[in-house]
Amino acid sequence: MALSSAGIGSNLPIDSIIEQLMAVEGKPLKALSTKETSYQSKLSAYGALSSALSSFQSTVSGLSTLSKFQQLRSTTSDATIASAAAGTSAAPGQYEVEVIQRAQAQSLSTLGQASTTNAIGTGGSTTLTFQFGTIEGGSLANGVYDGASFKQDANQSSATITIDSSNNSLQGIRDAINKAGIGVTATIVSDGSAAPNRLLLTSNKTGATSSMRIAVQGDAALQELLAYDPAVAQKLTQNTVAQDALLKINGMDIQSAANTVSGAIDGLTLTVGKIGQTSIAVTRDTAAIETAVNAFVKSFNELHGTLKYQTGYNATTKTGGPLVGDATARTIQGELLRMFSSQPAGLDGGLTNLSQIGISFQKDGTLALDATKLKDAITSNPADIGKLFATAGTPTDSLVRFVGSSAATKSSENTLVITALASKGQMLGSAAANTTITAGVNDELTLTVDGITSTFKLAAGSYNAASLVAHLQATINGISGFSKEGVAVGVSQNNGVLTITSNRYGSASKVALSGNGASSLMGAAPVVTDGVDVAGTINGIAATGSGQFLTGAAGSSTEGLKLQVVGGSIGPRGNVTFSQGYASQLNTLIGTFLGTSGLIAGRTDGLNRSIKDLGSQRDAVNTRLAATEARYRKQFSALDALISSMNNTSNYLTQQLAALANLNKQ
């Protein structure tokens, strides 16, 4: 087998020649690599810019909510007596608080049992019905009432638990009560006596209206252990009386079912700790505003630094950033500067531009903040500084509330006219209710509220109109099928005639009642009225009503503007001014840069496509180069063979001529 190598026959440096030729042929690859490096550099730059924009958007998004600038702080001279948390609706001021009595929950205990696991009674099915309300009148001695009455609280649901042979021990009863989640906690305590084990029942709610009444139907032994009615039989002993918190605020008497007192002072929530006196001061949290504004300036300057680096030219190194001259980056810079240079529309207060609060541009394009000027603005215009940054809706009518807006809502001042107020669905009885409920006769009802239906029974017994209302409302609102769907009702009476009203506003609010107790409660021909949605116009254009909420029409300048009309009258209801401050507008603007169809996404998608195209071009060039190199090698191999043959011929001829020369000499 013959061995061969390029140039071996001709002594030509064929590999070196081909390498040099291929270096020339491969120049397009170098150009492609240079382009790809440039594209990758731009992609990296856009990644950094996108990160900087996201960071700035996060800052301005937090400043787009008016409540960020309405924070208050509270201090108390003795927080162990009472502390306070101030909401945005609170008014700065000084409050003297005297705590007279803390709220507490009722607790009851059974007679002692020798064992916690032994069966109590025969094991027959027994129903425990828990009701919550107020114990009124009478006297209390050794945990037992004499001559008292019980008034059920209509706003607290009744609940039932079944005890049978599977759980008729002290432990079983405890576990059944706790598992049911009815608002009562059961524990077993031991007093060290011969029959030490007692079941301790504690209401989960504090307050006088959370006292318990426990009806037991079934096993006699369980009745003897658990029946509790402050007006009749009391088989349990009251260990702790249910009571409200009593306090004075600036000399005014306040009563609260809980030790967390809300609503006594608008926007202020008090937490009662112990009996005593303390002072509470509510002041505007100016530090929070200063922190927010400083964060705005700092975040913008960080974004500006990124843009300057990516798009600038360094005269010293004579190099430009990866995005120098880039049209997309220039557009982003221009849009940001335009936003800062224009005044937000719709501002109706004393502050209308950033310079009024000490924010100004420097020669290098960064923002600077004059802290003194900011403090002065906070002091003189505390209500307006938030509007300078955030989205704000300001109705002139106190019974109209701004709820929200959409990206399509335009800054404007809008007239509001209400043509219909929202109402709730209800059923009004046609005759006074029968207040005697008899099992199997008039105790079963099927109620449909807001499209949800449930069948239930009222507890048999003799009621008066008020107690029947309380029992009916508590029973309905305790039905899990209603509560899990957010359905609830209010029940009232006038001269014994009942009204059942859905708690929901709007056209979806409806009430229907049937069952053997329906006519007994509501009469033969009750009047049913469905709810109505609020209706009206915003800026002369019909808005969409849903319950109490009115939303601006699609395609109009008020599209997405959402208002809640909580009352008032039909007709003109003043104006609603809507404005979007700097932070709100910047948040929206940056969203257009960073969105999936935004400027940066479009540019980076284009760069990625270009890089992909370069890859395809590189593959094509490499394929062509491989073919070219193969051709060169084939050609040079043929040349090598030809030269080798010619060399051999030359050598042969030289030898023959030499031989002839020798013959001539001879």
Res 367 pLDDT > 60? yes
Per residue in 470-495, pLDDT (tens digit) is 999 999 998 989 999 999 999 999 99
Instruction: Please report which residue ranges of 131-219 form alpha helices under DSSP H.
Output: 170-180
Beta bridge partners of 536: 418
d(CA 46, CA 42): 6
**Where would I find the beta strands (DSSP E) of 467-615?**
489-494, 497-505, 511-514, 527-529, 535-538, 541-542, 544-546, 549-551, 562-565, 571-580
Beta bridge partners of 527: 428
Per residue in 6-48, pLDDT (tens digit) is 555 566 777 787 778 777 776 776 777 777 777 777 888 888 8
Q: Please, what is the average pLDDT of the chain?
A: 90
d(CA 503, CA 565): 16
Q: Percent of the chain, pLDDT > 70? A: 97
pLDDT band for 116, please (50, 70, 90 cuts). Answer: very high
Position 174 scores a pLDDT of 97
Position 302 scores a pLDDT of 94
Res 462 pLDDT > 70? yes
Characterize 490-516 residue by residue with b for buried, 16 or more Cβ atoms within 10 angstroms of its Cβ, and e for exposed: bbbbeebbbbbbbebbbeebbbbbebe
pTM: 0.77
CA-nearest of 100, 106, 159, 108 to 134 is 106
Position 3 scores a pLDDT of 39
- 201's enclosing H/E stretch is strand 197-203
Please, what are the domains in the chain?
72-102+246-284 (no CATH), 107-243 (2.60.40), 392-422+534-580 (no CATH), 424-529 (3.30.70)
Task: Give the mean pLDDT of 298-311.
Answer: 91
d(CA 25, CA 21): 6
Per residue in 314-366, pLDDT (tens digit) is 777 777 888 888 888 899 999 999 988 888 888 877 889 999 999 999 999 99
Position 2 scores a pLDDT of 39
d(CA 652, CA 657): 9
Per residue in 374-428, pLDDT (tens digit) is 999 988 888 889 899 999 999 999 999 999 999 899 988 999 999 999 999 999 9
Q: Are 330 and 338 in contact (CB under 8 A)?
A: no
Per residue in 599-642, pLDDT (tens digit) is 888 888 777 787 787 677 777 777 887 777 778 777 777 777 77
3-state DSSP percent of the chain in helix, strand and coil, to 5: 35, 30, 35
Beta bridge partners of 281: 75, 94
Farthest-apart Cα atoms in the chain, separation: 166
- 150's enclosing H/E stretch is strand 149-152
Position 6 scores a pLDDT of 53
